[in-house]
Amino acid sequence: MRTSIALFTRDLRVSDNPMLYAAVAGADRVVPLFVLDPKLPTPPNRAAFLLRCLTDLDDALRDLGGALIVRHGDPVTEVSRLIAEHGVSDVHVSADVSGYAQRRQGRLEAIPGVGVHVHETVTTAAAPGSLTPTGGGDHFSVFTPYLRRWQTAASRIPLPPPSRITIPEVESAGFHDVASGEGLPAPELAEGGERTGRALLSEWVDGPVAGYADGRDDLAGDRTSRLSPHLHFGTLSPVEVLYRVGRDSQGAREFGRQLAWRDFHHQMLAARPRTAREDYRPRGDRWRDAPEELAAWREGRTGYPIVDAGMRQLLREGWMHNRARMITASFLTKTLYVDWREGARHFQQHLVDADVANNQLNWQWVAGTGADTRPNRVLNPLRQAMRYDPSGDYVRRYVPELDCIPGAAVHEPWNLPVPERRALTYPGPVVDLADGRQRFLSARNA
Ligand code: FAD
């Protein structure tokens, strides 16, 4: 009797999961395993979301005749233990890109006496490393040529869930203490799990995606998919998302382009795992040490309403609109000239969708140390506010101290008549925008 292990990582689903599918197809019995690894930090928002994902995955596996087996500790040690206890012949795992995931994969492959199968196109739509520039090199560092290759690369057809799973008698530790980390989750956190993810995807495909090209930057309209936490934890498959969205409308094509950005960052991190910490393109920055300004930024009290709205959306929902991520990140790294690592750390602590590839490399992109071909551009938060929140509704939703100011005037509370300004419990600006911009540009030219 052949027994395999399906080691779940960032692929917490039964539908379109080539890792699970192959494990079931190639053995009589499968151990569907998830290891809670203390080396991987799970702050409260991600812990709460993960707990829902694991509960849902367990339910889905039980419907198929199996169950989720949970262990705590080092995944490779736990896999080795199960191999010895149950005569396992094969281990299946999905490929992933961080330095930690790549080392884990290498350690699994070094276990003697078992076949270790690493599955691509589970966590990304295109396998990192499968697309390389014509002129040579192991990865793309510019998005447009990557997109061209990505769009013409063949994609696979999504797989159904396995029809049945038989598991051996295996002890399982509970996973309910996954959310016992310090602190409480955000009050308006999204719900995890494959079922929720699939329902969101169906709603998205049935309508809103068609208006995505026009609506994706509309801060108040909130017209993006909000699929990012599901793509991060793998409760949705990027291959299936692309397949279901199709390419019929302009919105669908623009949406596909964003998923290409996701793959682009993943292939960069796969090739250069150290860019999780180190500049992709070092510029010799001498970042400012500005603890009070950094604290004001984190807490959403910089005195710039559009920046503060974004930062408070993060604290309230564990998620932030992409346009607000760009505005707040540019404000920190350029206007305040504070190290992108400080911002990335705060986002990782709070974002429910935080992942090393998308977070660190988007931070580097905005800071100008990454793949942006215009690294010295500085976003003006006021101009951004007038363009992407012309009604001011986004700001009023997240900064209640300002909800008495109608229309776009909410973006410039300092222009109110003095008595009204004085009546506000809202701080003055932490920095003059022109001074901040000049300081950044001078540092770049020094
Ligand atoms: P949609 O607009 O509906 O896009 C669909 C999907 O495309 C997203 O779910 C996401 O998987 C992908 N996508 C969209 N934009 C990008 C992008 N710029 N880069 C890579 N993938 C993208 N995204 C994360 O998933 N995790 C992060 O930790 C993260 N950190 C970020 C930090 C900064 C400073 C910035 C500027 C962006 C960051 N992003 C991150 C990218 C983007 O902001 C989010 O993916 C997006 O806001 C998620 O919302 P959505 O699912 O509604 O996106």
Nearest ligand 1 atom, CA 353: 26
pLDDT at 175: 76
pLDDT at 41: 84
Using one digit for the tens of pLDDT, what is the confidence trace for 240-292? 999 999 999 999 999 999 999 999 999 999 999 999 999 999 999 999 999 99
CA distance 42 to 210: 35
Using one digit for the tens of pLDDT, what is the confidence trace for 8-30? 999 999 999 999 999 999 999 99
What is the CA 317 to chain-centroid distance, rounded? 14
Instruction: Using pLDDT thresholds of 50, 70 and 90, give the confidence band for residue 445.
Output: confident
Q: Is 351 in the pocket of ligand 1 (CB under 6 A)?
A: yes
Q: Is 233 in the pocket of ligand 1 (CB under 6 A)?
A: no
Instruction: Give the angle subtended at the CA of 17 by the CAs of 12 and 23, to the nearest 5°.
Output: 100
pLDDT at 251: 98
Place of tokens 């930024």: 297
Within 10 A of 236 (CB to CB), how many other CB atoms are there? 26
Q: Ligand 1 test: best mutation among 218, 244, 254, 258, most atoms within 8 Å of CB?
A: 258
CA distance 367 to 347: 14
pLDDT at 180 over 60: no
Which secondary-structure segment (H or E) carries 307?
A: helix 305-317
Among protein residues, the one whose CA lies closest to atom 21 of ligand 1: 262
What is the CA 195 to chain-centroid distance, rounded? 19
Using one digit for the tens of pLDDT, what is the confidence trace for 287-340? 999 999 999 999 999 999 999 999 999 999 999 999 999 999 999 999 999 999
pLDDT at 178 over 90: no
Instruction: Using pLDDT thresholds of 50, 70 and 90, give the confidence band for residue 182.
Output: confident
What is the CA 319 to chain-centroid distance, rounded? 10
Among protein residues, the one whose CA lies closest to atom 34 of ligand 1: 363
pLDDT at 154 over 90: no
Helices (H) and strands (E) in the chain, counts: 19, 5
Instruction: Using pLDDT thresholds of 50, 70 and 90, give the confidence band for residue 181.
Output: low
Q: How far is the CA of 317 from the centre of ligand 1 (A)?
A: 15
Q: Ligand 1 test: best mutation among 255, 322, 345, most atoms within 8 Å of CB?
A: 322
What single string gives the DSSP state of each residue in 374-409?
STT----HHHHHHHH-TTSHHHHHH-GGGTTS-GGG
Q: Is 259 in the pocket of ligand 1 (CB under 6 A)?
A: yes
pLDDT at 426 over 60: yes
pLDDT at 373: 87
ipTM over 0.85: yes
Using one digit for the tens of pLDDT, what is the confidence trace for 27-43? 999 999 999 999 998 99
Instruction: Give the angle subtended at the CA of 285 by the CAs of 281 and 290, to the nearest 5°.
Output: 135
